[in-house]
Structure 1
Amino acid sequence: MPEPVAMTATRIDAATPADVSDILRLIKALADYERLTHEVVANESMIHEALFGAAPKAEALIARRDAQAVGFALYFHNFSTFLGRAGIYLEDLFVESHCRGHGIGKALLARLAALAVERGCGRFEWSVLDWNAPSIAFYESLGAKKLSEWHVYRLSGDALQALARDG
């Protein structure tokens, strides 16, 4: 386990291609925290293409302490037909355990909220695992509301291939 670091000012920067290895490292740390390391198949090339390729699919922010990447937020635009406006969907937010409780997660979320406002987005959304009580409490402390009337569905792997093929 890393040693606790002295908490100095946090820098939140838009990710650049030079951050890809840190982003992948943080993705793997997130997967470990969520007990999902077996699902990580992403590599640096895939992350680079998704964020910085010819047709980027997502964007990322990097949180730094003393020039060390200690957290990230990966997000993309979605669209609300009811609002007639884009939104920001936060795919992943993660702060290394030794840096939690020092406002880094809040700083990442605040930067994303500011981006949503700047870009004229109608909402800012994300999902959280039902067992992740610390994150749920944190999000609710910021005023985020649980949408209990919605259920997330996912097609992947063989089921996705079958529907695409047999549609």
Structure 2
Amino acid sequence: MTVAADGTVYATQTNAGGKNNGPETWKVFRIAPDGNVSVLIEGKPLNQPNGIEMDGEGNIVVVNLGDAGVLTFSPAGELLKTEEAAQPGSDGLVILADGTKYVNSLRNGGVSRIAPGAKAELIAEGISGSASMCFDAGANQLVIPMGQNDALAFVPLN
């Protein structure tokens, strides 16, 4: 989940689990500051949406677990831009102030860097079981939990 400047919370639903895990279960929810919950986006182009973050312009960026999609939506839910990570199976997402996106692949263990206006490049591999990640500004690195290994991966950003 991610929180906008006005306190609105956005959260993804990857699927409903069990046999009910098709496009009708892929959602982005909006939770208003007054507690009102609504579905902002449902179905394709979402494909098992997982990571979510706000960009510097107040748009909502979602990464898909089901493919390599990195989707930017307006706060009204309009698709503004489609990018692709270097590997499918995305989980975590970090967006830096300059607009550079970092996406980690739960399924393939790599980290993609997508600079503004550029194609994704793979900057790290072999991070098995990687989950959501965060940016450590003090050390200029990504910190990625590796749940299956009870460990953390540190990816320096040069």
Output the TM-score relative to the length of structure 2: 0.29
Larger Rg: 1
**Higher RCO, Cα 8 Å, sep 6+:** 1
Task: From the two aligned structures, give the one with the greater helix fraction.
Answer: 1
Task: From the two aligned structures, give the one with the greater strand fraction.
Answer: 2
